[in-house]
Amino acid sequence: MPYSLKAWPRCHDGTTVRAIHLLAGCSSQRNTKKEAELAGALTRLKDLEALLNSKDASLTTALGEKRNLEIEVRDLKAQLAKLEGSLADTKKQLQDEMLRRVDLENRNQTLKEELDFEKNRHTEPCSLPEAQSQHTLNALMSQRTELVEMKRRYESIMVERDSGQQQEYESKLAKALAELRDLHDQQMNVYKDHMEKTYEAKLENARQSADRNSNLMGVAHEELQQTRIRLETLSAQLDQVQNQLAAREAKVRELEEALSRERDMMHRRLADKDREMYEMRQRMQQQLDEYQELLDVKLALDMEILAYRKLLEGEEERLRLSPSPPAHHASVSRTSGSGTHSRIHSSALSSSKKRRLNDDDGETSSMAGGSVSRTRILQQASASGRVTVDEVDQEGKYVRLSNKADQDQPMGHWQVKRQVGSQNPIVYKFPPKFILKAGQSVTIWASVDGAIHNPPSDLVWKTQNSWGTGDQFQTTLINTSGEEMAMRKVTRTLFQDDEDEDDDDVVSEHAGERDSMSCTVCTHSLCCACIPGGHTCTDSEYNLRSRTVVCGSCGQPSDRAGVGSAVSSSFRSSGGRLPGGLVPHSSLMGNNMPRQRGHSAENCTVM
């Protein structure tokens, strides 16, 4: 091998793999060149073989023509023999016919003479005398004798004449036959000479073609032999290169397998780490839930402690056992929305009135002194299909859509449009193949901290930081035809009341002679002025029903874990636990509101 894999540095597997691929590329280029030369040689060999086949075909054609001419000569000879036999038969028939003609002519002449004689004999008179009859008879006999002699002479003459004519006819016939035979012989000789010349010429041409084809075949065989030798050489080189390539490919596969094993090992390690992180998150979430439950119980106890403390201070003031404590500024903020309810039941409170808001109504009240600032939130929703706008975030973080039907809803290229007042609309477009399953929901998050893209339940709009918020905004679901399929409109109004209504108080009024028990001190979980040993109050709002602590200075909700730890420390600093007789029976029903996350306000008094 021209290159050794051991000579390459093994500090990085990627460099070795690239080097091997480079060597394999060079080998493949050489193989391509050799294969091109081999293909050219094979093409030339095919051309020579085609030429040889054409020459063989020409030779075969010439030999076939020769055989055809020989067959034609044999046929002509057979035809000539047949014609000669026919000529002999015709001559014999002619002679027989001539003899029969002469015989018939002689017989005809004899019969004519006998007929004349009989006519003459019967026409003579019968009344002649006897002498005359004798004389006549003698004359007749002599005449008969003469007639017989004349007949004999005539017959001899006729025979001589017929024999002469026959000889003449025979001589003429023989002469004509001889001339015809000579003519046929001449024609046969001419045709034979022509056929022999044609045969000799074609045979000579065939021999010359065969010689040329033999020479070309010899050259073709030599070239074929050389091509075969070159082909064997190229095949040997190709086998050698293929062996080298196979060895390098095997090395590449080994390196790739090693890389794959390392990758699988890293994937397993990452999976283990992810699983450990998931378990840690689950444990942290469980601990956070436990802390939240403890915080809820602590807040309920704080409220009850404040109520009892207010009762005790009222009794002390009435009996003038102790001076009245200084007045503190306090504010209580409550919100109620879709699926969010928080209730506190206490055996020490005689009666309490609470207001439950449905999905389309919400109210936030803030009390400062004797005036109450209320924020009323009105939501209007409608739907004409399977999908509804189930929930919209007031801060513009997400929009949740739900399919409450029993059939899947394809939503490819559907749009969610948010119109905030008179501003430009904000439009989100679904992916082409998105389908909302039956009974499922999808949350479309803006690009905020903590938003995780997890289709098909969570989609992150990476190019939009917020859905937009304001005093009035409308969220509309539009299909591909431009039809409005669902809508939710949110309207927020702010107004002030001079008196606090009973159904908005968390702390109920005490029955009997006691004054109003609405808390006039801070109810924030971090402001422990109401607890002995606690700290001073800050201007903060606590959202009891949603369990959200809202800072009065920055307006941001605090993190639950931090609040829980702060409340725990505040409770420990307050001097421990209350006596058993002062701790009423309390129960807290949790909420199912989505956990708020991602707030990082600076210089916040709550956090």
Instruction: Kindly state whether residues 23 and 157 are assigned to the same domain.
Output: yes
Note the pLDDT tens digit of each residue in 453-485. Answer: 888 889 999 888 889 888 889 999 999 999 999
Decide if 503 contacts 355 (C-beta within 8 A).
yes
Q: Note whether 511 and 336 are within 8 A (CB).
A: no
Same domain flag for 35 and 133: yes
Give me the pLDDT at residue 29, please.
81
Span 414-439, mean pLDDT?
A: 91
User: Which of the pair, 411 or 119, is modelled with greater confidence?
Assistant: 411
Q: Which of 542, 590, 51, 67 is nearest to 335 (CA)?
A: 542
| pLDDT(104) > 90 | no
Q: Which of 151, 160, 156, 162 is nearest to 105 (CA)?
A: 162
pTM of the full structure: 0.28
Q: Of 468, 497, 526, which residue is a domain's last?
A: 497
pLDDT tops 80 at residue 16: no
Q: What is the pLDDT of residues 48-66, one digit of tens each?
A: 888 888 888 888 888 888 8
Greatest distance between any 2 Cα atoms in the chain: 238
* 516 & 549 share domain: yes
Tell me, yes or no, whether 583 and 594 share the same domain: yes
User: 313, 324 in Cβ contact below 8 A?
Assistant: yes
Torsion of CA 221, 225, 230, 235, to 10 degrees: 110
User: Residue 161: is its pLDDT beyond 80?
Assistant: no
Ordered alpha helix ranges (H), 320-357: none
Q: How many domains does the chain have?
A: 3
Out of 463, 478, 497, pick the residue that ends a domain. Answer: 497
| 197 & 290 share domain | no
Cα–Cα distance, 244 to 531 (Å, whole number):
87
Q: So what's the pLDDT on residue 157? A: 72
**Distance set, CA 531 to CA 49, 184, 482, 570 (Å):** 114, 159, 60, 9
The CA-CA-CA angle for residues 340, 333, 507, to 5°, reads 90
**166 and 40 in one domain?**
yes
- Domain residues for 398? 373-497
Per residue in 415-427, pLDDT tens? 999 999 888 899 9
Q: Does 253 map to a domain?
A: no
- Please identify, among 497, 516, 546, the residue that sits at the C-terminal boundary of a domain: 497
Does 503 share its domain with 419? no
